[in-house]
Amino acid sequence: MACTIADVAIGVPKRTLFEYLVGETLPVVGARVLVPFGRRKLVGVVLGLKSDSNWPLEKLKPIEQVLDDQPVFSDNLLTMLKWASQYYQHPVGDVLQSALPVLLRNGKSSQMPPVLMWQCTVLGQQTDESELKRSPKQQQLLNQLQQQSMLDSELKQQFGSAIINALHKKQLIEKQQVIPELNNNWHTELQISAGPQPGIEQSLAITGITSQLEHFHPVLLEGVTGSGKTEVYLQAILPLLQQAKQVLILVPEIGLTPQTVQRFKQRFNAPVGLLHSNLTDNERLAVWRQAKQGQLAIVIGTRSAIFTPFKQLGMIIVDEEHDNSYKQQDGFRYHGRDLAVIRARQQNIPLVLGSATPSLESLHNALTKKYQHFQLHKRAGVSQIARQQIFDIKNQPLQYGIAKGMQDRMAAHLKQGNQVMVFINRRGYAPSLLCHHCGHVEMCHRCDKSYTLHKGLNKLQCHHCGDAKAIPARCSQCGSNQMISMGVGTEQLEQGLNQLFPAYKTLRIDSDNIRSKSRFHQMLDDINQGEYQILIGTQILAKGHHFPNVTLVLIVDVDGALFSMDYRAAENLSQLITQVAGRAGRAEQPGEMWLQSHHPDHPLLQDLLHNGYGHFARYALQERKLAQLPPFSFQALLRAEANSANKAHQFLQLAQQYFNGADNVISMGPFPALMEKRQGRYRMQLLLQSPNRASLQKTLFQAIPQIELLPESSKVRWSVDVDPQDFS
Ligand code: ADP
Ligand code: ZN
Ligand code: ZN
């Protein structure tokens, strides 16, 4: 019987597929089609073809246009996406849309689009890089373009516009709109530049990974920072590339780690594609196509790169697998690392998860032998990990949040010509503005949180909704002009340190101060050139960079995380401390790290400092086991927000009845979110937990469609978050 009806997934918030009549052209499964939907025309993806429907045929509308003759999703990818739609309880149409480059979502042709590329001019090819030795950056750029042309956005990301323009003015480089052409023969011409001889532990890992390339084989590579994990990846993928198989590498943020990308490009003469947030739509589509056609050997990308199509995917690597940025925090709330596991299993290929501070989930899988476990205990390079110590600030006078004893340590390091790094997790001048006369604190009424004082911007700003207003000269309650700031943020710390150490230059690095990636790279260069001696920063400094001249790291306040309601806060703090300690100092100057705390005897701090992250994490796992928290149980969070707390609460109470009596699943709440009010909306949560993943899945699968039918469900904003990472 002829197939006359297509099941189409459309990016609307409905869990069902939609039926359309097939016209003259029979679409293939996985191809995009243009279909009428209400008054609109939408792009959908064909998920099935059939010959009859429960609807009378005359009710069905015809497909308007078939957009692809080849599927945009392979069977493998489609299976993973359908799985993800079910697992994360997210409408399949929206899942498929999120997995496509924007241009394809909008119905553009999947033909190769032109992109802006830079290449050397003839003059540039003939110019010796040593002629540019006054500017090492220009030299490096020219050198790279002499080897291959590069995408405009990629070059901007790596060097910034100023350097590019300088070389352009000298007529050494030129740009062009081109349709990127690559060949599929990169593997026959594969050349490898020499890498270091692997150490014993590295060799074990490389052999372990490469001995099982033909099937699903998950590996946790737990290695301290600088132990040579990247080197293991480089050597482990070589045999795959030689077989023309492609490799996908997920990283938390490409902009912060251009060195990693460089290392893959330099090791192999094979084409590497990058997927990150700074690409133009055309560039993104170009990478998507090249990967799909097998023209790229390696794709390095952030979270959503897990949806990249490949001709022949041979391995997935997830670097810094513990990083929270792998979890999408709105809409389709998938976890990039977890989907990597699913995809690798689906495609029957090896998977490598690497981290110095593995997530408790992955560590648990390694310890229970679900993953093969390799450890790199020692650093490969010469530098050493900073010694970590606690500074008890009970009853200590603090200036700008810093104890006198710590100021003395700073002075000693600075005097020796070294750099000092100070971490504080609050941006702005001060976390709140207080009336000294009546005690009133200026609050954002939309979020019930105090405004942060930004002196530089001359504004009060709410860090939760972005609302900003002028700094009031007088108290809005009593009219007094005695307004004082309370607490310390990066901005105030910078001013304070300038006063305490006037002979040294400070640099503040936070998201207020980093306007662009290229500016950030400039800052990193300046730091390593020794232009600044005191660095003040937020978490952003913990990612991916090595600061050889930093010999003292100070974390101003660790207590917040010790007593947080979020059970993951301690894990995250330990990861931060360990990551930072690994990024400072070198062999002859191993460096020291101090944590200021009112609770120096806290068991978590003690364990972390004396026994290291690996020990702490194994201990934390035991605690989680006793408390029956993940990874020893499985959670889903039902979130609701409304213009009154009551409405949100009532909705969740109604929803809760569908979980009562569920097999093996308990529901807790409804309770207010950690951030109870935001942008004028009240936020409540219902937590579902089960010792068994399948039970939780089954319960959600039955309950969510029914909750969706509740009339109350259209009166609140609500969502399901499976495996929630935070409760804010
Ligand atoms: P990680 O990814 O664990 O942080 P890297 O792979 O970046 O570690 O290695 C840290 C440094 O040590 C790099 O400069 C790298 O080139 C070097 N390195 C790695 N493995 C070796 C080795 N076996 N011998 C010498 N140097 C090495
Ligand atoms: Zn007042
Ligand atoms: Zn607000």
Cβ–Cβ contacts within 10 Å for residue 166, how many? Answer: 17
| Structure tokens belonging to residue 264 | 């893959």
Residues of the chain with pLDDT > 90: what percent? 58
**How many Å apart are CA 92 and CA 381, to the nearest integer?**
47
- pLDDT grade for 584, boundaries at 50, 70 and 90: confident
CB of residue 113 inside a 6 A radius of ligand 1: no
CB of residue 160 inside a 6 A radius of ligand 1: no
CB of residue 544 inside a 6 A radius of ligand 1: no
**How many Å apart are CA 535 and CA 550, to the nearest integer?**
9
**How many Å apart are CA 224 and CA 579, to the nearest integer?**
9
**How many Å apart are CA 431 and CA 452, to the nearest integer?**
5
- pLDDT grade for 15, boundaries at 50, 70 and 90: confident
Residue 406 has a pLDDT of 95
Q: Which of 297, 290, 292, 289 is closest to 190 using CA atoms?
A: 297
Residues of the chain with pLDDT > 70: what percent? 98
Q: How far is the CA of 93 from the centre of ligand 1 (A)?
A: 43
When mean pLDDT is compared across 485-499, 511-525, 535-549, the lowest value belongs to: 511-525
Residue 706 has a pLDDT of 93
**How large is the average pLDDT for residues 624-650?**
94
- pLDDT grade for 146, boundaries at 50, 70 and 90: confident
- pLDDT grade for 256, boundaries at 50, 70 and 90: low
**How large is the average pLDDT for residues 613-634?**
93
Residue 10 burial (10 A CB sphere; 0-12, 13-18, 19+): buried
Q: How far is the CA of 448 from the centre of ligand 3 (A)?
A: 7
- pLDDT grade for 255, boundaries at 50, 70 and 90: low
**How many Å apart are CA 85 and CA 25, to the nearest integer?**
28
**How many Å apart are CA 44 and CA 37, to the nearest integer?**
10
Strand partners of residue 175: 118
Strand partners of residue 419: 550
Return the residue whose CA atom lies nearest to atom 5 of ligand 1: 228
Average pLDDT, the chain: 90
Strand partners of residue 273: 299
Q: Which helix (H) or strand (E) holds 452?
A: strand 452-454
Residue 515 has a pLDDT of 66
Q: How far is the CA of 458 from the centre of ligand 2 (A)?
A: 20
**How large is the average pLDDT for residues 525-545?**
83
The three-class DSSP label of residue 459 is strand
- pLDDT grade for 481, boundaries at 50, 70 and 90: very high
Backbone angles phi, psi at 166, to 5 degrees: -60, -45
CB of residue 235 inside a 6 A radius of ligand 1: no
**How many Å apart are CA 439 and CA 48, to the nearest integer?**
65
**How large is the average pLDDT for residues 267-291?**
90
pLDDT surpasses 60 at 1: no
**How large is the average pLDDT for residues 48-72?**
90
CB of residue 228 inside a 6 A radius of ligand 1: yes
Return the residue whose CA atom lies nearest to atom 12 of ligand 1: 381
Instruction: Measure CA of the first residue to CA of the last residue in the chain; give whole Å.
Output: 54
Strand partners of residue 554: 422, 594
**How many Å apart are CA 223 and CA 207, to the nearest integer?**
16
**How many Å apart are CA 505 and CA 487, to the nearest integer?**
23
Return the residue whose CA atom lies nearest to atom 19 of ligand 1: 228
CB-based contact 11:32 (threshold 8 Å): no
